[in-house]
Amino acid sequence: MTITVKRVAVVPGDGIGPEVTEEAVGVLERVGETHGVRLELKHFDWGADKFLSEGVTLPEGALEMLSTEFDAVLSGAFGDPRVPSNQHAEDILLGMRRGLDLYINLRPVRLLHERLTPLRGRAVGDINFVVFRENTEGAYCGAGGFLKRGTPDEVATQEEFNTRKGVERIVVAAFEYARGSGRRRVTMCDKSNVQRFGGDLWQRVFKEVAARYPEIEANHQYADATAMFMVLNPAQFDVLVTNNLFGDILTDLGAALQGGLGLASSGNIHPGRVSLFEPVHGSAPPLAGKRQANPAGAILSAGLMLEYLGHAEAAGAVERAVRECVAAGETTRDLGGALSTPEAGERVRARIRG
């Protein structure tokens, strides 16, 4: 049997990023023992400290290096109060998403235990869907400008790009995922009642693509209604596909439904290419260094990465271990437990079995 060693770039980043990433890395080491997963990890110090001391955000040649020398990237979070412009986070995180063309931002919304949701009377099966957030364009294209900045006549424009190719590939990815995973419904949400042009393109593409998947129900909602339905009737969602900005906002709501940002995981994916896995949460500056951050989102993101790298069994074992910890109350305080970040990581590792 040939054992292929996958190469993973680890970019812990800022704030609580390094603390939670350390626990996720520990989990990857653990699945080496329990499941024979062989990974070669290499750490990179990209983040606020490097930016402040060297003026470097995403080093030159980094994207090329990642795409030729690595199979995946595992990152923590980027954002630091010392960098109010958020320049380094934009260059590093959005730089990787755009520069590596990671057009799928896959964000599962899955309730691991009913006591975690703030919604009353919901069972775990009621909150179980996957968001496909477009990840390379929309409102994140960085286009816009000022006219007469700082004067009373100031004008600021903020543009949004929706390309035929970009919309089609994320909608196709959502339907392909639904088909491959036995999900029955794909919901697309937009604001086509107001955003006439981009919304029109999304609507046309959605209908066209949906026709190729007759066994899957295609459902359209306006994004404001989606926010409401996520709270009132989350069980209706199976796969939710949307643009970059609505996907960002709705997945924080999704995180809340499953127990908070500490638990939410994500993959920034271009199938077949180096892809990036990271918790949905940010660098949480007030929590940094306090050993209070929940490492579960980072650990579950490492689980998504394992699945992407072809280690489905190990990925399943990681998720099971997190679920068992939650059920046993072995969690950090955001989920009602009393464990520190490293203790919570250790409990997950102890529950991973081969």
Does position 80 bind ligand IPM by CB under 6 A? no
Does position 293 bind ligand IPM by CB under 6 A? no
CB atoms within 10 A of CB 206: 24
CB of 304 to ligand NAD, least distance (A): 14
> Are 239 and 183 contacting, i.e. CB atoms less than 8 angstroms apart?
yes
Of the listed pieces 36-44, 62-70, 147-155, 292-300, which binds ligand NAD according to CB under 6 A? 292-300
CB of 282 to ligand IPM, least distance (A): 6
First to last CA, the chain: 19
> Are 98 and 241 contacting, i.e. CB atoms less than 8 angstroms apart?
no
User: What is the pattern of x (binds ligand NAD, CB under 6 A) and - over residues 34-63?
Assistant: ------------------------------
Residue 334's binding partner, choosing from ligand IPM, ligand NAD, Mn ion, none, with beta-carbon cut-off 5 to 8 A by kind?
ligand NAD
β strands within the chain, DSSP E: 6-13, 39-43, 72-77, 104-110, 128-134, 144-147, 155-158, 185-190, 217-222, 239-242, 265-269, 275-279
Q: Of 14, 19, 134, 248, which one interacts with ligand IPM (CB under 6 A)?
A: 248
Q: Of 134, 238, 248, 319, which one interacts with Mn ion (CB under 5 A)?
A: 248
Which amino acid, 140?
Y
Of the listed pieces 61-69, 240-248, 266-274, 309-317, which binds Mn ion according to CB under 5 A? 240-248
Residue with Cβ nearer ligand IPM (39 or 89):
89
CB atoms within 10 A of CB 282: 18
CB of 94 to ligand IPM, least distance (A): 6
Catalytic residue set:
140, 191, 224, 248, 252
Helix (H) and strand (E) counts in the chain: 12, 12
Does position 190 bind Mn ion by CB under 5 A? no
Q: Which residue is nearest to ligand NAD (CB)?
A: 79
Does position 337 bind ligand NAD by CB under 6 A? no
What are 223's two structure tokens?
């994004």
Q: What is the DSSP track for 127-169?
A: SEEEEEEE-SSBGGG--EEEESTTSTT-EEEE--B--HHHHHH
Residue with Cβ nearer ligand IPM (94 or 306):
94
Q: What is the DSSP track for 186-233?
A: EEEEE-TTT-HHHHHHHHHHHHHHHTT-TTSEEEEEEHHHHHHHHHH-
| Whole-angstrom distance, CA of residue 81 vs CA of residue 102 | 27
Residues between 49 and 88 with contacts to Mn ion, criterion CB under 5 A: none
Residues between 67 and 86 with contacts to ligand NAD, criterion CB under 6 A: 77-79, 86
User: What is the pattern of x (binds ligand IPM, CB under 6 A) and - over residues 81-110?
Assistant: --------x---xx----------------
Q: Of 25, 39, 280, 296, which one interacts with ligand IPM (CB under 6 A)?
A: 280
Residue 201's binding partner, choosing from ligand IPM, ligand NAD, Mn ion, none, with beta-carbon cut-off 5 to 8 A by kind?
none
Classify the phi-psi angles of 47: left when phi > 0, otherwise alpha if psi is within -120 to 50, otherwise beta: left
| Whole-angstrom distance, CA of residue 75 vs CA of residue 156 | 33
Determine the 3-state secondary structure of 5 from DSSP: coil
Query: Which residues are at the interface with ligand NAD (CB under 6 A)?
Result: 16, 20, 77-79, 86, 89, 93, 261-262, 278, 281-285, 287, 293-294, 297, 334
Query: Which residues are at the interface with ligand IPM (CB under 6 A)?
Result: 89, 93-94, 248, 280, 282
